Structure 1
């Protein structure tokens, strides 16, 4: 399980190294590793040459010893050292190992008699190996010591011998021309992924060496060491597994392995690679571009570190694959060594990393600048990236780090937008503002004499005022002023159930335009999080302005980019989730609406004004799906999101949602009793239409018409409100022609962007009118058919209807229209022949001979 010293003649001698190096010898008693032994045996059977390549301390030698013992039979085994760079010495040592394993071959004498030249001796060794029994294992240990071209050429030639099976052990087996053999399957590899201990093996090994700790301690040890055997043994010897009740989890630097890493890892590497490892471990560098910035040729050196097993991936226990990282124990002790012996290197590395991360991760860049004692770099990053830090909610911490590095606990000297924003955020937002962060930051950034953005003048002024000259300031102002305008108390109605809007008016086009411009500027300036936030708000602005296709596409693109950017992108896209949820709800895709609205609630902790709207729409989705428990949960989340400042103050009416629940439970009069016309939610276009429906259902047509008259015209309103208003009007018209015209107007508005939900909500009441509408004539017959087929609350049919199948009833629903057989087939997604078969069956079951008679009979029997 550890590094093993060897004598000059190639014999294995476990224990302390004669040269005084720190060596952790194999434990007594040795611990069996049947999984690794089996993997080694299987690989030897499959491949003529097997490379067992892993860093020091992975128990390569011990593993081969166990395998040899379990296998039985002779094994030719050679332990190499730096002196075997001489090919003659290498070949003679190999011949001697053959002679020890097979005394009858006379191997040593044959090689000596072949002459002093390496060519003749190589021929003799090849002949000697060819004479061995087929499949004889030849183990060459510590192959990494052979570094000369002549030595590697000799070893490559030896591996060409047919008959034996070669097992090469080393810490970096390179330069042996094994690539073609790997392609053909002649050469195989066993690396750290196989040799590392599993959690179960870690526990078995620990228990074999002494009193067994509890399972949690073993799991903690494996988490830190990732099964590196030498690290597990060092932790056990240090008593780290028997700490009683530790106050914290085990850390990589707790494992006492610093001297081992210095001598057995760094001390055995080529100087250039060792220097790179020291620098890369300081900042956990795994990016090839950054590696190249650290040292010339750094990308190639990083690739070598990956090949040697210094850089690993999250083990299989993780839920998803992670980015490669340096082995935690190795990196921790390399950092200790660098800090102790090369403090200048540490500072230099941090400066390089700070400059490299300035655009992609400015907060980390400032941290590295602080570690590197580089106040100029920190100040440059803060000045250039403060908009990005602001939207990531990292500006305050970054500004404090810069101020501390400058030698002061106060704000950094000199006026700057970053300083103004941090001071404004410390003072808190104005009382009563729906979005206090936006209000206070915009007020701090607007130039003297420009339009104010405080609560007295409203948040839209900065969108129409001349923008600040500084591009960064202008971009931030447009983002925050735009998002504040979307959720302001006087924002126009936008089809959001339960929202408390201002008076109806056309949407402010400047909001979406400024947000789109801000997104473009942020992308061009290298502010990815700011660009993502602007695009998310732009998607919501499009949804509220009834640009549904643009909102849906924009939200989808934002969410895809946020998923690729990782956890940092999630809080920035709450608005995109809300936009996607609203569009899905309006288009009657309730499953997608529930998914996006739930995500908006999950990510909306810092944006309660969005979270309460998402919860309000989610309540209506759950009610539409017949899920009262889900509606109750959504209301609870609504209360939680509005706990600090109040749901109503954030722009949503809880009373309206409570009345909706009463209505969904069939308590129409109880719902009417909860109506409060002083609440803007009840007098909004959606609220007025819903009140009209309540009055209609209790038989009060006058009150129903009165509720609609309160709103007057809905021209210029959101598509959702126009469809809802016209559908409600159609239900109240006594004149058939007027009713059909109102219904056709509703269908016109619905078909334009697929706004189906208002019609689906009234499908039961509209059903008779929809059936007649097919005969009256409509430009939207497929949509009418879809509404009739999807309607779940149709009147209960008479017993004679049971003779018709579900598909026949759907075809019957289309028959009053002027649709041809082919058009009916297309609307139902079946073939024309299938429709003809259903029509003949309908005629037979109803006892009729024509389509007109079928419709009359169906109406008379209550089927239509």
Structure 2
């Protein structure tokens, strides 16, 4: 035997590397490594730059309960004597190796005796007094058969006390499948090693960069959590004048990233593998079948699997078996490299991908690839074939993008494309553009295609645009289920405001067809339009249920920011406002407003803003709330609006203006409504409100009388509630207690099925006073009365906050003390006490000491309510 010092091993090779500057603690992964001590082998496998060495070094340094022997392998270790001399040298550096251990004796590593020597080495490890970690970093450097054979022997016969950890860019040539099946292999691959957004932010902060959450998300998406990509981006960000612009253009074609990818990752692959990756990069993700078509290789599936298992450059998508995703920066680098080879080749590959996706019923990627192929004939054919199914599925953006790629002249020259463009504009709420498309299509001959099919498509587009042909809503319906459902929706929309029952029937059929055939976008639209019908009948509970279901479908499919969601949110917010759920109404309306006016029709946009303003008013920001409502009406201008929304929004604005004492503003809203509804119960009620506010009680009662006795029609069911509440207030002021109680009882009875309590919250103080006084005496309407009382209390909470001194006076009002006695008790004048009492009455909306005490108990301002 030769002395162990014959092969000199540098200390740095067998020392745990220090953590790199700005290293991020990865405690969860370290814990997984620790738990892997029971496995035969822990494998950390990922391409260059994923932080394998940093992770293992940090893990070893953080946990000193077990000795770690570390070997950084390089190409010279393909000589077995050097490899095994390094391994032994690393082990004997561990403090737990006894002085008399066989490991400290000289070793002579002869290639012919390698199995026996590795077995002897394993036996020496087994004799150690405690556990040991043996980390071999960069195992992918080992290619010599003898070196690999020795490592394979060690994995089979190592003692259980030794935790063997291998780090490699590729799968080492070991029996990994057998160990995997036996549960004896722990694996950490690129997916696990990728940084989370939080870890990416921490890494950037340690590099001196503080980015916004949006910028971190952008960078994390670009890099896929690849540590090297994050560090390369950090270098560029340090010098970037515009960080957002840098992040938007940061890709695999960036010079520093490209150099790293080529030098550290791609150069290690055979030329045919690099070409395969380049070709399949036309699609990301790429299914196995598409990879076969793009590459022309029947064995493409096997190559994809090999590249995933052996290199981690690809990741299989669990939700789509046989589909793989390329790491994002590598993907953009490969795409750029492919495009440098010539645009014709790229276009041809896109055409192959477009046809492959279309044949498999995946219209969105089919259209995207067809658009990138630069072949107008291919893209036109794809639109003819796929556009209507895409519209049914709610994929309007894909259709619009494809039409934009063809350009307006091509669309105008093609009868079918013009009709498709019209439907796309209609679903985006762009009625004028849709009508232009229809006018152009009328002037063009139908051209090629099935005349009956084109006629059906035209029927659908005309109905949706509100311009039915000579046969009106009785035009023949298409036989194809999707087009038939669209046509039913169009018919229903044409009937809205004219024949509510027939409109509901059409929407019901459209909903049934959509559910039966899986047209989820049309299902959501049908639910939303049925909500419109329900709200017109005052059925707010049904409206809330239908619109909530429509929004749930929209959220599931990413259809936010569309006319569908704007309409559903407008109606849902209105129902919440009617229930006095002011904060919820404000939140829902704000979400609709955030999508912008382009995502809603002008009428829906007006409703969203008006409800938002009304909710602000009810939440206490009265001046701003009324101003927003007035501004929304002014900006809406002279556009057409249905009688129901016109009446509802005018009454909101009129009531709020009167509550703030703005009589002229109330008259403006009233006049605007009159032009759109004609003479109706709403106009009479608003005029009666104005007269009541001006203390003209007799005029007010005369105006509201036809609404109460039903001799004048109302546009909205809730108007009768408002009218009876006004009668309640007027009767209270006239000291007609029986008439007041009857009017209030009637209002409660009418309001309960409508699920509306807001009229009670904004009613005059006499209504609130009577609700307090008669609590528990409304019979079947008791629960509605309590809801009405709570709604009023909730709405006026901000306005009715009492000062500390007023609270003190209020706490003495339940006693038998006179106001003089209270003044003596508080050491103030009786006039001061009287001033406080008047203020308390005003803030609580009452006019007597007894009712003030009852209202204070209701609001929890003083002790529990007396029985």
Give the TM-score of the pair, scaled to structure 2: 0.67
Instruction: Assess if the C-alpha contact under 8 Å between 2:543 and 2:572 holds in 1.
Output: yes
Aligned equivalent of 1:415 = 415
User: Does 1:467 pair with 2:477?
Assistant: yes
Q: Which deviates more from structure 2 when the two are superposed, residues 120-129 or residues 786-795?
A: 786-795
Q: How far 1:574 moved relative to its partner?
A: 0.7
Distance between the aligned counterparts of 1:789 and 1:385, measured in 2?
A: 52
Aligned equivalent of 2:660 = 665
Q: How does 1:168-183 map to 2 (within 5 A)?
A: 168-173=166-171, 175-176=175-176
1:519-550 per-position Cα deviation (integer Å, ceiling 9, x unaligned): 44445556544443333233233222323222
1:380-409 per-position Cα deviation (integer Å, ceiling 9, x unaligned): 4443333744963554542353x57xxx95
Q: How does 1:643-654 map to 2 (within 5 A)?
A: 652=646
Which one has a larger percent helix, Structure 1 or Structure 2? 2
Q: How far 1:368 moved relative to its partner?
A: 0.8
Instruction: Assess if the C-alpha contact under 8 Å between 2:614 and 2:625 holds in 1.
Output: yes
What is the root-mean-square deviation in Å for CA atoms of aligned residues? 6.1
From 663, 682, 691, give the equivalent of 1:695. Answer: 691
From 371, 386, 397, give the equivalent of 2:388. Answer: 386
Aligned equivalent of 1:587 = 579
TM-aligned CA distance change 1:604 to 1:683, over 3 Å: farther
Distance between the aligned counterparts of 1:169 and 1:451, measured in 2?
A: 62
Instruction: Assess if the C-alpha contact under 8 Å between 2:24 and 2:202 holds in 1.
Output: no
Instruction: Assess if the C-alpha contact under 8 Å between 1:140 and 1:168 holds in 2.
Output: yes
Instruction: Assess if the C-alpha contact under 8 Å between 2:460 and 2:487 holds in 1.
Output: no
Aligned equivalent of 1:545 = 537
Aligned equivalent of 1:320 = none
Distance between the aligned counterparts of 2:160 and 2:466, measured in 1?
A: 90
User: Does 1:625 pair with 2:603?
Assistant: no
What secondary structure, in the 3-state scheme, does the structure 1 residue paired with 2:531 have? Answer: helix
Q: How does 1:391-790 map to 2 (within 5 A)?
A: 392=396, 395-401=399-405, 403=406, 410-411=410-411, 415-416=415-416, 418-422=417-421, 436=432, 462-463=472-473, 465-468=475-478, 472-480=482-490, 482-483=492-493, 486=496, 491=497, 508-522=500-514, 527-566=519-558, 570-603=562-595, 605-606=597-598, 607-632=601-626, 634-635=628-629, 638=632, 642=636, 652=646, 659-667=654-662, 671=666, 675-676=670-671, 678-680=674-676, 683-708=679-704, 712-713=710-711, 718-731=716-729, 740-762=741-763, 764-767=765-768, 769-770=770-771, 778-788=779-789
What secondary structure, in the 3-state scheme, does the structure 2 residue paired with 1:139 have? Answer: strand
Instruction: Assess if the C-alpha contact under 8 Å between 1:578 and 1:597 holds in 2.
Output: yes
TM-aligned CA distance change 1:742 to 1:42, over 3 Å: closer
Instruction: Assess if the C-alpha contact under 8 Å between 2:74 and 2:141 holds in 1.
Output: yes
Distance between the aligned counterparts of 1:30 and 1:284, measured in 2?
A: 34
TM-aligned CA distance change 1:529 to 1:569, over 3 Å: farther
TM-aligned CA distance change 1:542 to 1:164, over 3 Å: same
What secondary structure, in the 3-state scheme, does the structure 1 residue paired with 2:657 have? Answer: helix
Instruction: Assess if the C-alpha contact under 8 Å between 2:459 and 2:469 holds in 1.
Output: no
Distance between the aligned counterparts of 1:537 and 1:231, measured in 2?
A: 49
Instruction: Assess if the C-alpha contact under 8 Å between 1:616 and 1:634 holds in 2.
Output: yes
Q: How far 1:746 moved relative to its partner?
A: 2.5
Q: How far 1:614 moved relative to its partner?
A: 2.0
Q: How does 1:44-193 map to 2 (within 5 A)?
A: 48=37, 51-58=43-50, 60=52, 75=69, 77=71, 79=73, 93-94=83-84, 97-98=87-88, 102=92, 105=102, 116=113, 118=115, 120-131=116-127, 134=130, 137-144=133-140, 153-158=152-157, 160-173=158-171, 175-176=175-176, 192-193=193-194
TM-aligned CA distance change 1:376 to 1:763, over 3 Å: same
Aligned equivalent of 1:251 = 250
Distance between the aligned counterparts of 2:180 and 2:189, measured in 1?
A: 11
Instruction: Assess if the C-alpha contact under 8 Å between 1:50 and 1:187 holds in 2.
Output: yes
Aligned equivalent of 1:22 = none
Distance between the aligned counterparts of 1:601 and 1:612, measured in 2?
A: 10
TM-aligned CA distance change 1:131 to 1:512, over 3 Å: same
Distance between the aligned counterparts of 1:615 and 1:206, measured in 2?
A: 43
What secondary structure, in the 3-state scheme, does the structure 2 residue paired with 1:55 have? Answer: coil
Q: How does 1:339-358 map to 2 (within 5 A)?
A: 339=339, 347-348=348-349, 351-352=352-353, 356=357
Q: How far 1:722 moved relative to its partner?
A: 3.1
Aligned equivalent of 2:448 = none
Instruction: Assess if the C-alpha contact under 8 Å between 1:311 and 1:325 holds in 2.
Output: yes
What secondary structure, in the 3-state scheme, does the structure 2 residue paired with 1:282 have? Answer: coil
Distance between the aligned counterparts of 2:602 and 2:509, measured in 1?
A: 26
Instruction: Assess if the C-alpha contact under 8 Å between 1:616 and 1:635 holds in 2.
Output: yes
Distance between the aligned counterparts of 1:572 and 1:12, measured in 2?
A: 69
Q: How far 1:303 moved relative to its partner?
A: 11
1:570-595 per-position Cα deviation (integer Å, ceiling 9, x unaligned): 55311110121121122222222222
Distance between the aligned counterparts of 1:143 and 1:41, measured in 2?
A: 20
Q: Which deviates more from structure 2 when the two are superposed, residues 123-132 or residues 551-560?
A: 123-132
Q: How does 1:181-330 map to 2 (within 5 A)?
A: 192-193=193-194, 228=226, 248-249=245-246, 250-252=249-251, 253-258=253-258, 261=261, 264-266=264-266, 268=268, 277-278=277-278, 281-285=281-285, 301=304, 305=308, 310=313, 326-330=326-330
TM-aligned CA distance change 1:256 to 1:669, over 3 Å: closer
Distance between the aligned counterparts of 1:838 and 1:240, measured in 2?
A: 63
Distance between the aligned counterparts of 2:86 and 2:351, measured in 1?
A: 52
Q: How far 1:420 moved relative to its partner?
A: 2.9
TM-aligned CA distance change 1:801 to 1:537, over 3 Å: same
Instruction: Assess if the C-alpha contact under 8 Å between 2:53 and 2:167 holds in 1.
Output: yes
TM-aligned CA distance change 1:547 to 1:51, over 3 Å: same
Distance between the aligned counterparts of 1:94 and 1:513, measured in 2?
A: 83
User: Which consecutive residues of structure 2, in runs of 5 or more, have no partner in the other structure?
Assistant: 1-6, 13-17, 94-100, 317-323, 443-453, 801-805, 817-839
Q: Which deviates more from structure 2 when the two are superposed, residues 617-626 or residues 383-392?
A: 383-392
TM-aligned CA distance change 1:292 to 1:270, over 3 Å: same
Aligned equivalent of 1:860 = none
1:308-328 per-position Cα deviation (integer Å, ceiling 9, x unaligned): 664799xxxxxxxxxx97533
Distance between the aligned counterparts of 1:180 and 1:456, measured in 2?
A: 64
Q: How far 1:113 moved relative to its partner?
A: 8.3
Aligned equivalent of 2:368 = 367
Distance between the aligned counterparts of 1:571 and 1:66, measured in 2?
A: 53
Q: How far 1:168 moved relative to its partner?
A: 1.5
